[in-house]
Amino acid sequence: MDSIDRQIVSLEKPHYSEHFVSFVNTQDEILECLYLAGDFDCLMKIVTESTETLERLLTRIKSVPGKQKRRHPELSFIIQPPL
């Protein structure tokens, strides 16, 4: 089963953007990272093998320097591939 999630992230200051982009580029589970205008800076599309691997990735995202806040724009859900 795959776990699919979207995360919105806000960075403290613009100079953290380069470090955050470098982090995102090293994470295979982050399929897309879109730059946003407004209260939040990035919208990420995440696909992981399970809810456990999703939680590990979210923990890594929380530890990125300069990340100010994070939230779910929608609920996470599990998709089972067709049989």
- Confirm if 78 and 51 have CB atoms less than 8 A apart: yes
Instruction: Map out the domains of the chain with their CATH numbers.
Output: 2-79 (3.30.70.920)
pLDDT at 1 over 70: no
Pairing status of strand 42-48 against strand 2-11? antiparallel
CB-based contacts of 26-33 (< 8 A; 24+ apart in sequence): 27/57, 27/60, 29/53, 29/54, 29/57, 30/57
Rounded CA separation 59/39 (Å): 22
Mean pLDDT of the chain: 78
> What pTM, to 2 d.p., does this model score?
0.73
More confident residue, 3 or 82: 3
Task: In whole angstroms, give the CA distance from residue 59 to residue 63.
Answer: 6
